[in-house]
Structure 1
Amino acid sequence: MKLLLKWLLSACALLLVAYLYPGVQVQSFTSALIAAAVVGLFNVLLRPVLVVLTLPVTVITLGLFLFVINALLFWAAASVLDGFHVNGFGAALLGSLIYSALMLLVDMALKSVLSR
Structure 2
Amino acid sequence: MRFLVRVAVNAFAIWIVTLLPALQVQLIPFAPGEGLQVALTLLVVGAIFAIVNAIVGTVVRIVAIPLYILTLGLISLVINGFLLWLTAAITSGLPWGLRTGEFWLTVVAALLIGVINWVMGVALRPRQRATERG
TM-score range (shorter-chain normalised) is: 0.7 to 0.9
TM-score (norm: length of structure 2): 0.75
Q: Which runs of 5+ in 2 are unaligned?
A: 27-37, 129-134
Per the alignment, do residues 5 and 66 of structure 1 end up closer, same or farther by CA in structure 2, a change over 3 Å counting? Answer: closer
TM-score (norm: length of structure 1): 0.86
For the aligned residues, what is the CA RMSD? 1.7
Per the alignment, do residues 6 and 50 of structure 1 end up closer, same or farther by CA in structure 2, a change over 3 Å counting? Answer: closer
Which structure has the greater CA radius of gyration?
2
Query: Comparing both structures, which one devotes a greater share of its residues to helix?
Result: 1
Per the alignment, do residues 24 and 61 of structure 1 end up closer, same or farther by CA in structure 2, a change over 3 Å counting? Answer: same
Answer yes or no: is the 8 Å Cα contact 1:17–1:99 preserved in 2. yes
Q: Residue 46 of structure 2 is aligned with which of 19, 28, 36?
A: 36
What pairs with 1:1-116 in structure 2 (closer than 5 Å)? 1-19=1-19, 21-27=20-26, 28-81=38-91, 82-111=96-125, 114-115=126-127
Q: Which runs of 5+ in 1 are unaligned?
A: none
What is the number of equivalent residue pairs in this alignment?
Answer: 113
Q: Percent identity?
A: 26
Q: Which runs of 4+ in 1 moved over 6 A?
A: none
Displacement of 1:62: 1.1
Answer yes or no: is the 8 Å Cα contact 1:58–1:66 preserved in 2. yes
Answer yes or no: is the 8 Å Cα contact 1:11–1:36 preserved in 2. yes
Instruction: Give the 3-state SS of the residue equivalent to 2:24 in structure 1.
Output: strand
Instruction: Give the 3-state SS of the residue equivalent to 1:84 in structure 2.
Output: strand
